[in-house]
Amino acid sequence: MSDAAVPTLRARWRRLSGNSRGALWMLASGVVFSVMALAIKLLGQRLDNLQIGFFRVVVGFAAVLPFVARAGLARVRTRHLHVHAIRAVFGLLAMYCSYYAIAHMPLADYTALSFTKPLFATFLAVVILHEVVRWRRWTATAIGFLGVIVMVRPGATTAFQPAALAALVEAFSIAFLVTLVKRLPPQETTTGMLFHFGLFASVLSLGPAIYAWQWPTAFEWLLLIGVGVLGAMAQSFWIRSFRAGDASVVAPFDYLRLLFAGFIGFAVFSELPTLWTLIGAGVIVTSTLYIAHREAQLSRKSRPAAPRR
């Protein structure tokens, strides 16, 4: 690409609406997350998820450092170190659970269960943010969890997998992290959040990685580095999507990850989703889309009316 083309692309990018930029960031995040899941599933055939998680945060942290150096330390200073430490703890929990689930269940099944984040977020919004949730959102949340039961089928011993429980724990942890991010002031930059997460998570994940250590092969080294870089990219794109556009607009684009994961699972691992997976995933996606729609309606009602001229 020529040097003259770069300013043109930047100008076109800036002319896009905030919601359009947010949707594109979310699409990019979904593609990168899906490719990272492929690498994790390949690594999980031999390496422990504790070791994979350590390389994810360390390599991701190293990838963020050049941006910190360019932006300056002033851009990463914070008065909320305790919040970032909590983010690191729950972020590692989510990471370990997701890597275990990815390694032990079909990618489409894991991805569908990961979409339960808005369902957990409804409960957390009441408990932490003290939001008022009315009967329509509660009903949609209950229906969404029925979709989870359809997928997991806890009474069917041949169908239930511990990996499904790990995927749900990951979804809860990420919903909690999103709730924490909402409490952070806008002065907290994307670079700062990535820097502090990488710093705390690298320290906390070192001990478990040493405990579970197995020496990687040359190909596994490449995959481990790739997971770290892709993880930092996907996280950055995901944060930027919500910073650029309205959550109710950009969040539904995340559901395209189900298509990406299904394609990769079929093409690489010959995985085909079951009928229960398709039905449960459809119920979960429909309920969470309705929750996003209701949140958008309430957000518009709560905005002050524009003054008449």
Domain boundaries of the chain, sorted by first residue: 20-302
Q: Which letter, b or e, does each residue of 5-23 get, where b requires 16 or more Cβ atoms within 10 Å of its Cβ?
A: eeeeeeeeeeeeeeeebbb
The whole-number pLDDT of residue 308 equals 44
Q: Are 205 and 50 in contact (CB under 8 A)?
A: yes
pLDDT values of the chain reduced to their tens digit, one per residue, 309 residues: 555 556 677 777 777 777 788 888 888 998 999 999 999 999 999 999 999 999 889 988 888 888 888 878 777 888 888 888 999 999 999 999 999 999 998 898 898 888 888 888 888 888 877 777 777 878 888 888 888 888 876 655 445 578 889 999 999 998 888 888 777 777 777 788 888 899 999 999 999 999 999 999 999 999 999 988 888 788 788 878 877 877 667 877 888 888 888 899 999 988 888 888 888 888 888 888 787 776 666 666 655 554 444
d(CA 248, CA 156): 36
**What contacts 164, CB < 8 A, 6 or more positions away?**
101, 105, 109, 113, 151, 152
The helix/strand count (H/E) of the chain reads as 13, 0
Distances (CA, A) of 138 to 45, 87, 119, 291: 39, 27, 9, 9
pTM: 0.80
What tokens were used for 125? 């919004």
The whole-number pLDDT of residue 280 equals 86
What percent helix, strand, coil does the chain show, rounded to 5?
Answer: 80, 0, 20
